Chains A and B, each alone.
Chain A
């Protein structure tokens, strides 16, 4: 097999993306559910991001409220822009 493939078969050469790809679908599902929980706990919104390329780019779909319906994170200081 190729050099590229050989290097990726060794754990020390794998990136985080490769490690993720080599998990089973069930393992990725569990990890993803964990991310989902953290995201919601931090006040993440389940609404779509603005995407000017999307046929559904519309303010009605972008309420930008926290996923669990309450404010989880308050912005105390914003730097730069």
Chain B
């Protein structure tokens, strides 16, 4: 669901870890624990593998020591801000066939984009690139769902103007909701930039608010943790 998913969806990204969204039912929790054991995964930050913490929105961070996966970092999450619960994410997933690996399940692109609406700068440039890339891949013969997706998530002023000209009937609803309709029709790039900036700031603030109690809990755990020997 992280950088590797971005690569599979076409963004030019170099990812140094593996971010996994997991189901937290007892059976799956046992399977994940077994997998972490096989990978000789060392907990590198608080909390450890803690289902209750995952369900509250925390991430669990590990570094692997098994042969073939040395130093690989794995981050586990079960809840993503603004995204539906795991079962719904799973129902909407994309499945990709990879050479020598087989099929792997990847978070759906709209969910990946929602999960990237964070307080981090780098996630916002990634969202823009993911939508631009999706447009490039499907612009020659898009279906209506894809067109609506572009209008909902596109963060590139020039592309918004282009799309509004190409699909005037489909743009009203989604661009109207975002407050981008008039500026896109008029090709007013300054107004588009301004609304996109406000949109980003609102999401960043929501993310900061979401993480505020979780960060407090992280600080508490770090204080309580016994010193490393």
Contacts and interface: CB of A to CB of B under 8 A. Distances in A.
Interface residues of B, number: 46
Contacts, number: 103
A16 B12 CA distance: 9
A60 to B, nearest CB: 6
Given A8-B136, A48-B17, A60-B45, A28 B218 contact: no
B56 interface: no
B136 A21 contact: yes
Interface size class, chain A: 35 or more
Contacts of A48: 16-17, 73
Interface of B: 4, 7-12, 14-17, 44-45, 59, 61, 63, 70-73, 96-99, 101, 118-122, 129, 132-133, 136-137, 139-140, 158-159, 162, 165-166, 211, 214-215, 218
A61 B61 contact: yes
A61 to B, nearest CB: 6
Given A25-B98, A26-B97, A35 B14 contact: yes
A36 B12 CA distance: 13
A2 B167 CA distance: 11
